[in-house]
Structure 1
C-alpha cells in the first residue's frame, strides 16, 4: 500500500473545494489589481490630478488598509458563524465588487476602480482568518502540515498567474477592458461555485459577541495572543517573512531593469522563480517532516533565506553587463546564479512559513484560532508597511538596491537569533531534525496509536545514545524523556534535552534523591496531560538483546494511572552510538543514512500494566531486527 501524501487531499471534499475557492480568490485579487496598475501606468488612468507613480503607491496602500481596519472583525465572524456559509457570502461579495469594477473598467472611472480595490482588500481580509482556521476542522492532524503546504503553494501560484493574466488581458487592444471585465466576473463566479461544495464547519464560539470597536478589538486579540508565547512568536515569524518578502518582491522590477538590464519578461521570470520556489518549499515540508508539524524546518528555512539572500548580493554584483530580453538573459551563464538564488529564496521561505501556520492552528486555544489568524493579518500588514517605509528611507539615503537586499538578508540573521532565543524549542527541533535526517532513514509504524491529546507513558527498548533523538524526531507530540543523567549531560545533546524538558535520573545506589525528584517530575508532567517516555531497562544494551524491565514503570503508573504505549526501536544495534564492538562513539561509523525502524503498539490501560507484559510487547514489536 502506498504511503498517503498531501496530494491525496485533492480527492477529498474536505479540502479540494476550499483549495479551489482560495486559489480563485487570490488569482482574482491579482488579476484585478495588476490590470488596474497597467491602466494607471500605460493607459493614462488618473484621479484627483495624481500622477501615475503617486497613484500606484496609493493603490498599494488602499489595498492593504482593510487588513488594519477589519482583520479583528473578520476573526470574530469566523469564530461565530459556520465558516463554509461565511465563505459563500464572502464570494458573493466578490461577485458584486467585480460587477462594480466592470463599470469602472468600461468607463475608465478611477474613483470606482480604487473603491473596488479597497473592497477587494476587504474581501481578502474576511477570507484570511477563515481559510486557515477551517483547516484544523477539515483535516486530521497528520494532514495539517500537507494541507497548509498546498494552500501556500496554491496561493503563490495564483498570485503569479493573476499578475501575468491581468497584465496580458488589459494590454490586449482594442478589447482589453471588455476582456478583463469578463475575466474578473467569471473568476469570481467560479470561486462562489467552488465554495458551495465546502462541507459545514460549525462555529467554535457561536455565542461570541461582536465587538464593533475596531481599534479596541484589534488591540484585544493581539494582547490575548501574546499570552501564548509560542503562538505569538510564530505570528512574528510569519510577519517577518512578509517583511522580508515585501522588500524583495517590491524591488524585483528595478532589479530586473536597472541591475540586470532586462526587460519586462525578465522581471516576469524572476517573480515566477520566487513563486514557484515558495510552492516547491511548501509542498516539500510534508515529505521532510514525515507528515508531522516539524518546527525544525523553521530555523532551516531562516538559514536558507539569509544564505541565499547574501549570495544574491554577490551574484547581482557579478552579473554580466548588456541589455537582455528573456532568451538572451537565460542563455547568459552569469545569470544562472541569480536565478538559482531567487528560486531557493522561495523554497526556504516555504520551509519557514508553512510549519508556523500549522503551529498556530494546533497551539491556539479552541475558539480563538480565527482571531489568532486575524492578529497575524494585522501584524503582517504592519510589517509590510514598515518594510515599504524602511526601503524608501534607505534608498533615498543613497543605498543601492543590492545593498538594501543585503541589509534585509543580514537583518534576517538577527531576527532569527532573537526569535530562537525566546523559544529554544525551534532550535532544539532543528538540531533533532538535522541529526536524525542526516544519520537515518526512519520507517515508522503505528504512530497513530499515540493519542493526540492527554497524558500517556511511552516505554521503549534502549539500544543507543541516539534513542531519545530518534523518537523525538518521529513522534508528533513533545516528549518528556526520563534518561540516565550521564546521557543527559552529553555536550550538544544536553541543550536539546534541557529544552525538551527531559528528566535526568540515577540509580538509587548512586543518587537516591535524584531518582525521587525524577519520579516527582514525571507525575507533574502526567498530571498536566503530557507525554513521558522511559526506557524501563535502565541501561543501554551491551549485546543487542533487551535487558529485563525494572519495576519503576509500575511505580509510575501506580502513582499516576495513565495509558502506557509500548514502542520498539529497530536497526540501531551496531550503529556508531551503540555498544556493539565496545564503547559507544569510540569506533568508526558504519555509514550515514542507515535504515532503522520505530514500531508503536496499541495503548495498554493503566490497570493492566505490568513490567512483564510491557517487556513482552516491546520484544514482539522489535522482532528480529535489532
Structure 2
C-alpha cells in the first residue's frame, strides 16, 4: 500500500560547503552547519544509554519483578530497543528522503521529549506494576526514536560537508556517539545508585537531556529534501526488501553495507561478553567491567578521529583493510593474553591494574577497538558518497536493518558457542579468525578496498607522497587523466591521489609481470597493444575506454605510450585524441586533467639502473633509502577543444617543473 504525503515548499537550500573550509575536523565544531547537528546527535545517544542503563540497573538490583528476572532484564531491554530498527527503518528512510531533513530532526527531538516525560513518570512511580511496563514501553519508543534519527543522521552529512570533510565529519560523529554511549552508561549507573532518590535524579536527567537536544536542534540549518515527490510505502516488509534491492544496484555500496554490518557483529560479541569476561576470566568486579567498556569506547573514538589524519581529508577506503587486519590481530592476541590467568578473588580497578599481565589485555582491547574505528568510518563515508542523493536515506535505512540483523545473529551465535562449552577467550579467538576470513572475502568481492590499501601503504610506507592540486580531480562525472610515465607503480600512486576509482589504459606487456600484472587486472585496467601489432585488441581497448567515460568514471592514460628510459618526458602519442573523438561521438564533452609525477626517476620501480647496457627496474631495493620524497602535481582541467598532444605535453612538462 502506498500513500502520498504533502510536503511544504522546499526550504532554502543549504549553501554548498567550501572545498577547504577548515584546517581539521575539530574546527567543524565551530561551524553552524555541523556543531548543532553534532550536539543534537550526541545528546540523543547519551540519553538513550543513560535511560537504558539506569533502567537495567533498577530491574537487576533494586526491583523484584517475578516475570522479569535479572538474568533476562538486559536481554529484554536490548531486544525491545532494537526491534523498531527491524520494523520501521524502511519507513524512516523514505521519510528522510521525502522531507526536509532539519524538519525530521526536530520532530524526532520533540518525540524524545514526550517519551522522556512518560519515562519520568515511570521512574518516580512507586508502583512496580506501573513502573516496569511504562519503562519497557519507553524503551521501545526510544528505539523508535533512534530508528527515525538513524537515516537522517547519515544523510544530512553529505549535504552539509564537502567530500574532503566527509571522513572527518563521520569520524567526529562516530567519536561523539561512543563517548555519549560511555557517558550515558556511567551517569545512568551513578545516578540510579543514589539511595532513595536515584530514580528521581534519572528522570530529571533524561528530561533535561531531551530538552537540551531539542534546543540545540533549533540551530541546525535547513537541508532540503532529496526526493520530495516520493510516494511512501507504509508496508515495512515490502519496503525493506525494496531498499535492499535498491542498495544492490550499486555493488560497492551494498558490499560496504555488509562490511559495516559485520563490524557491528564483531563489536556486539565483545560488548555483550564484557561483564562475564571481567568477572569469570579477569577476576574483576563490576568496576573492572566498566573499565573495559571505557577502554573499548576510547579506542573506537580514537580510531574514528585518526581517519581524517591518515586519509589526508579524503574518503580513504584503503584504511578498511588496515582496520580489518588490526581487528583480527588484536582479537586473536586477546585470547592468548587472557587464557590461563590464575584464579583469584574479585579485584577492584586498583588491584586489577597493578598486575602487569592485565596491561596486555587492556592494550589488546584498546588497539582492537581503535582499528575497528579505522575500519568503519571510511565505509560509512563511502556509502554516503557513492549512494544516489535521491535515495541515500533509504540506503542508510537498509544498512541499519542489516546492522540489527547481524547483531541479533551475533547474540545467538555467542550463546550457542557458550552452550557448546566454548570459553569467552575462545569466543574472542573464533571471532578474530572469522573476521579475517570475512574481510578477505569482502576484499575479493570489492577489489577497490584492497587496491586502495596497496596504494595507501605504498604512498605512506615506501614513499613520502605529496599531492598538489588534487582538487582539480573532479568529484563527479567523467574525465580523462593524463600523466607522465616514470615507473611501474605510477598507476598505484595515481590511485592514492584520488578518492574515486580510476580505470587505466595501459601497455599490455605490464600485465605479464607476476605481481603488478595481477594487481592491475584486479583494478580492471584496460590492456592496449599497438595498432600495428594487434589491430583488434587496439580497437577493443579504446572501446572499453569509451565505456568507462560513458558510465561517468575516471579514465587515466599515459600518453607517452611507455615508461621513460632516461627520466625525460617522451613525445605524447595520439591515443588521447582517439579517446576524445570517441567521447565526442557519444555526445560527451569530457575534460582532460594534466598531471605530473615528480622525483620518481631513480626510485626502485623506475628504469634508472643500468645492467648489461640496458635500463632495468626493481633492482637494489634501497638504492634511494626509505621514505624517499615523490610527488604528484595536478593541473587545471582542459576542455577537449584545446587538447592536442603537443599542447598537453607542454602542460605536463610545466607541472613537472612546478
1:571 & 1:497 partners in 2: Cα distance? 23
Partner of 1:349: 372
**2:165 is the counterpart of 1:143:** yes
* Kept after mapping to 1: 8 A contact 2:511/2:518: no
Q: Where in structure 2 are the equivalents of 1:142-221 lying within 5 Å?
A: 142-221=164-243
2:234 & 2:547 partners in 1: Cα distance? 42
Under a length normalisation based on structure 1, what TM-score does the superposition of the two structures give?
0.96
**2:305 is the counterpart of 1:283:** yes
Q: Where in structure 2 are the equivalents of 1:213-362 lying within 5 Å?
A: 213-323=235-345, 324-362=347-385
2:491 & 2:655 partners in 1: Cα distance? 18
Q: Deviations over 1:23-63 (max 9, x none)?
A: 111000000111101111111252x6332222332111111
Partner of 1:44: 63
Under a length normalisation based on structure 2, what TM-score does the superposition of the two structures give?
0.92
The Cα shift of 1:134 comes to 1.0
**2:43 is the counterpart of 1:20:** no
Match among 362, 365, 369 for residue 392 of structure 2:
369
Q: Where in structure 2 are the equivalents of 1:403-552 lying within 5 Å?
A: 403-552=426-575
Q: Deviations over 1:368-416 (max 9, x none)?
A: 1111111111111111111111222221222211222222222212222
Partner of 2:420: 397
Q: CA RMSD of the aligned region, Å?
A: 1.7
Q: Deviations over 1:233-261 (max 9, x none)?
A: 11111111111111110001111111001
Distance 1:421 1:468, change over 3 A: closer
* Kept after mapping to 1: 8 A contact 2:304/2:374: yes
Once the two structures are overlaid, the 10-residue window that deviates more, 307-316 or 504-513, is: 504-513
Distance 1:104 1:2, change over 3 A: closer
The Cα shift of 1:509 comes to 4.3
The Cα shift of 1:321 comes to 4.2
Is the partner of 1:200 in helix, strand or coil? Answer: coil
The Cα shift of 1:586 comes to 1.8
1:515 & 1:334 partners in 2: Cα distance? 64
Distance 1:75 1:2, change over 3 A: closer
The Cα shift of 1:505 comes to 2.0
* Kept after mapping to 1: 8 A contact 2:42/2:176: yes
Match among 3, 6, 9 for residue 28 of structure 2:
9
Distance 1:138 1:3, change over 3 A: closer
1:442 & 1:387 partners in 2: Cα distance? 41
The Cα shift of 1:2 comes to 11
Partner of 1:596: 630
Once the two structures are overlaid, the 10-residue window that deviates more, 239-248 or 319-328, is: 319-328
**2:624 is the counterpart of 1:586:** no
The Cα shift of 1:507 comes to 3.1
The Cα shift of 1:318 comes to 4.2
1:494 & 1:165 partners in 2: Cα distance? 56
Q: Which runs of 5 or more residues in structure 1 are unaligned?
A: none
2:292 & 2:67 partners in 1: Cα distance? 33
Once the two structures are overlaid, the 10-residue window that deviates more, 90-99 or 591-600, is: 591-600
Stretches (4+) displaced over 6 A: none
Is the partner of 2:396 in helix, strand or coil? Answer: helix
Q: Deviations over 1:453-509 (max 9, x none)?
A: 221111111111111110111111111112222223322222321222212223344
1:519 & 1:209 partners in 2: Cα distance? 42
* Kept after mapping to 1: 8 A contact 2:321/2:450: yes
Distance 1:623 1:124, change over 3 A: same
Q: Deviations over 1:156-180 (max 9, x none)?
A: 1111111111001111223212211
Partner of 2:604: 576
1:305 & 1:77 partners in 2: Cα distance? 36
2:617 & 2:258 partners in 1: Cα distance? 42
The count of aligned residue pairs is 623
Is the partner of 1:482 in helix, strand or coil? Answer: strand
2:271 & 2:582 partners in 1: Cα distance? 58
The Cα shift of 1:520 comes to 2.0
1:45 & 1:114 partners in 2: Cα distance? 15
Is the partner of 2:33 in helix, strand or coil? Answer: coil
Is the partner of 1:293 in helix, strand or coil? Answer: coil
1:360 & 1:74 partners in 2: Cα distance? 18
2:469 & 2:506 partners in 1: Cα distance? 23
Once the two structures are overlaid, the 10-residue window that deviates more, 444-453 or 577-586, is: 577-586
1:620 & 1:509 partners in 2: Cα distance? 32
Q: Deviations over 1:196-255 (max 9, x none)?
A: 111111111112112121222222212322232222211111111111111110001111
Partner of 2:12: none
* Kept after mapping to 2: 8 A contact 1:45/1:110: no
Partner of 2:7: none
Q: Deviations over 1:45-94 (max 9, x none)?
A: 52x63322223321111111111111111111101111111101100110
Distance 1:2 1:580, change over 3 A: farther
1:563 & 1:441 partners in 2: Cα distance? 29
* Kept after mapping to 1: 8 A contact 2:448/2:501: no
Is the partner of 1:367 in helix, strand or coil? Answer: helix
